[in-house]
Amino acid sequence: MPALFLLCLLALPCLAGEPLVRRISIQGNTRTREETIRRELLFSVGSRLDSSLVAETGRNLRQLAFLGKAEIRVHRQGEWADIAVEVEDLYARALSPLLSGQPGELSYGLVALDYNLAGRGQFARLLLHHRAIEGNRAALYYEAPRLAGSLHALAAGAELGEEGHDLSLTFSRPFRTLADPWSWGFSLYSQEQVQRLYAEQALAARYTDRLEGGSLWLTRSAGRSIKFRPGFRLSLSDRRFAPAGGYAYAPQDRRRLVPSLSLLVWQPRYARERFIHSLGRAEDLQVGSWVALRAGLSHRSLGSDRTFSTLALQVSPCLAPWSRAYVFATLLASARRQQGGYRDLAALAEVLAYLRLPPSHSLDLRLRWEALGRPEDQTQFLLGADSGLRGYAPRSFDGRRRALCNLEARPTLWQRPAWVLAGALFAEGGAAWTGPVPSPRLALGAGLRLGLPRLYATPILRADLGRGMPDGSWQLSVGLGQYF
């Protein structure tokens, strides 16, 4: 009996564990409704304090485009814990002009959007856009990430233009937390667009691509420090092609019903850093490595136009070799096996490296190589100012292989609460080819970056002036976001 009493005394600290959450307060929100923030919390009054859920809640809140800051402070008082969630609303509504491209080939438009519709965290966008190549388009998009306050998400979009349309509807139950065991959803879509192929900057083929289909998926998640996520997907697509504008080439029509199995192995790890992808705002960098495998089967007995199997493998190691240095690598290979051998072989290798230089500068590098072999369609890679080489006009080079090297120094010039002005000095080289490897082209240049940390999604306005080597041409390009 005394021994049993002693064991009970020793067990009391273990039973007590972490303190209980007594109070949760939300501070700093002006337009965002309090229930919009509370529904993202992974803890509640009366639950045991879990530091991992507190950290994950902070990351989830900072991923919301309409919040500029999300800090969670825990005040312990004996067996109780009071939690204060401090957020900052961004300007989430805008009527903004759009401008991208190069002189003589500019795309422009007007967008009205709201990232926080009625303070409920929903997203709506109306777009009127003139594209330099495709012509005029109008689009309406709506997304409810927490439909009617539930864990389900709804997204719907409609886009109409001179060269086709894009209609989509997605209903899903995504993973809300790292511990969520299931995710599922389905989508429907109808698309029509004009595809173009080039040869030495000249238009070589033009055809209409009509696609209708849908998919449904189910994913299981297990594990703690290492996540294992096996999944199943069923995709149905019906594609029709037709030559346009007097050209003769178009791919063959195809109908596919493809069930596939996948496995994702992922190590969730995060680092908070500034001046890597954005300007000024603290980012939650995903620095955990992962590997993904997918295998699928298309068979005539299932209604497909032909029988084949598919296999894809992606390995993405993430490294932090020293303080404030990050390396993100991607190795991807996919192929389709059918009677007669392998088709649609695709390979990609990319390394992105970011070195943060105090107090607010960075040095960044991109190495990328990609190749296609025996493609089902006459697919190609393009190279120019809009695809990796800023000293040359868009579509200057084309081929089934492409290699790129971009080195960029990004000094921050002025930093204010409402805006950040930064620069870019870049040197880059690349080539696109099909036959023998051509001589790589080089480009040098400089640019400006204007970051708006108080605006929705903290956008960056970009303008670059590059000089091609040895051609001696100058190219001005503008757009949104960092170049890589």
Task: CATH number of the domain at 64, please.
Answer: 3.10.20.310
- The Cα–Cα gap between 342 and 328 comes to 30
* 11-20, 71-80, 108-117, 417-426, range with the lowest pLDDT: 11-20
Q: What is the pLDDT of residue 13?
A: 42
- The Cα–Cα gap between 109 and 450 comes to 19
| Mean pLDDT, residues 422-431 taken together | 97
What is the residue-averaged pLDDT of the chain? 92
- The Cα–Cα gap between 480 and 305 comes to 41
| Mean pLDDT, residues 95-123 taken together | 90
3-class SS at 15?
A: helix
Q: Which domain holds residue 67?
A: 15-89
- The Cα–Cα gap between 63 and 472 comes to 43
Indicate whether 9 pLDDT > 70: no
Residues contacting 458, CB < 8 A, separation 6+: 68, 90, 278, 279, 280, 281, 451, 452
First CA to last CA across the chain, in angstroms? 69
Indicate whether 237 pLDDT > 80: yes
Length of the chain: 484
Angle 259-381-161 from CA coordinates, rounded to 5°: 75
- Residue 47 counted as domain residue: yes
Whether the CB-CB separation of 446 and 465 falls below 8 Å is answered with: yes
- Residue 71 counted as domain residue: yes
Q: What is the pLDDT of residue 436?
A: 84
Q: What is the pLDDT of residue 265?
A: 98
Q: What is the pLDDT of residue 10?
A: 40
Instruction: State the residue for tokens 């005040």.
Output: 75
| Mean pLDDT, residues 183-189 taken together | 98
Indicate whether 425 pLDDT > 60: yes
- Residue 21 counted as domain residue: yes
3-class secondary structure for 89-113? ECECEEEEEEEEEECCEEEEEEEEE
Indicate whether 296 pLDDT > 50: yes
**For the range 328-337, what are the long-range contacts, defined as Cβ-Cβ under 8 Å and sequence gap of 24 or more?**
328/352, 328/353, 334/310, 335/310, 335/311, 336/308, 336/309, 336/310, 336/376, 337/308, 337/309, 337/310, 337/311
Q: How many CA atoms lie within 13 A of 90 on its CB side?
A: 29
Whether the CB-CB separation of 418 and 454 falls below 8 Å is answered with: yes
Angle 81-87-93 from CA coordinates, rounded to 5°: 155
Indicate whether 29 pLDDT > 90: yes
Indicate whether 287 pLDDT > 70: yes
| Mean pLDDT, residues 88-103 taken together | 86
* 10-24, 96-110, 195-209, range with the lowest pLDDT: 10-24
- The Cα–Cα gap between 277 and 285 comes to 9
Q: What is the pLDDT of residue 11?
A: 40
- The Cα–Cα gap between 240 and 192 comes to 9
- Residue 331 counted as domain residue: no
Indicate whether 282 pLDDT > 90: no
pLDDT tens column, 313-335: 999 999 999 989 999 999 999 99
pLDDT tens column, 408-423: 999 999 999 899 999 9
- The Cα–Cα gap between 290 and 264 comes to 7
- Residue 213 counted as domain residue: no
Taking alpha carbons only, the member of 378, 339, 346, 344 closest to residue 252 is 378
Strand partners, 234: 216, 259
Report the phi/psi class of residue 426: left, alpha or beta, with left for phi > 0 and alpha for psi in -120 to 50: beta
- What's the burial of 149, exposed, middle or buried (CB within 10 Å: 0-12/13-18/19+)? exposed
- Residue 239 counted as domain residue: no
- What's the burial of 477, exposed, middle or buried (CB within 10 Å: 0-12/13-18/19+)? buried
- Residue 275 counted as domain residue: no
Instruction: State the residue for tokens 């989508």.
Output: 187
Indicate whether 71 pLDDT > 70: yes
- Residue 436 counted as domain residue: no
Q: Where are the beta strands (DSSP E) in 244-360?
A: 254-266, 270-273, 283-286, 290-298, 308-316, 318-319, 325-338, 341-357
Backbone CA torsion sign across 307, 294, 183, 214: negative
pLDDT tens column, 348-374: 999 999 999 989 999 999 999 999 999
pLDDT tens column, 187-232: 999 999 999 999 878 899 999 999 999 999 999 999 989 999 999 9
| Mean pLDDT, residues 241-255 taken together | 92
Q: How many domains does the chain have?
A: 1
Backbone CA torsion sign across 132, 134, 139, 144: negative
- What's the burial of 251, exposed, middle or buried (CB within 10 Å: 0-12/13-18/19+)? middle
| Mean pLDDT, residues 56-77 taken together | 93
| Mean pLDDT, residues 425-441 taken together | 91
Could you give the dihedral angle defined by the CA atoms of residues 277, 280, 284 and 285, in that order, rounded to the nearest 10 degrees? 30
Q: What is the pLDDT of residue 458?
A: 87
Whether the CB-CB separation of 361 and 412 falls below 8 Å is answered with: yes
Angle 16-21-27 from CA coordinates, rounded to 5°: 160
Q: How far is CA 466 from CA 4, 107, 392, 407, 419, in A?
A: 79, 19, 8, 13, 25
Indicate whether 464 pLDDT > 80: yes
Taking alpha carbons only, the member of 49, 51, 31 closest to residue 115 is 31
| Mean pLDDT, residues 453-465 taken together | 91
Taking alpha carbons only, the member of 374, 382, 373, 385 closest to residue 204 is 382
| Mean pLDDT, residues 299-305 taken together | 92
Main-chain phi, psi angles of 51, to 5 degrees:
-65, -30
- Would you give the DSSP letter of residue 282? -
Within 10 angstroms of residue 45's Cβ, the number of other Cβ atoms is 10
Q: What is the pLDDT of residue 16?
A: 53
Q: What is the pLDDT of residue 15?
A: 36
Whether the CB-CB separation of 244 and 206 falls below 8 Å is answered with: yes
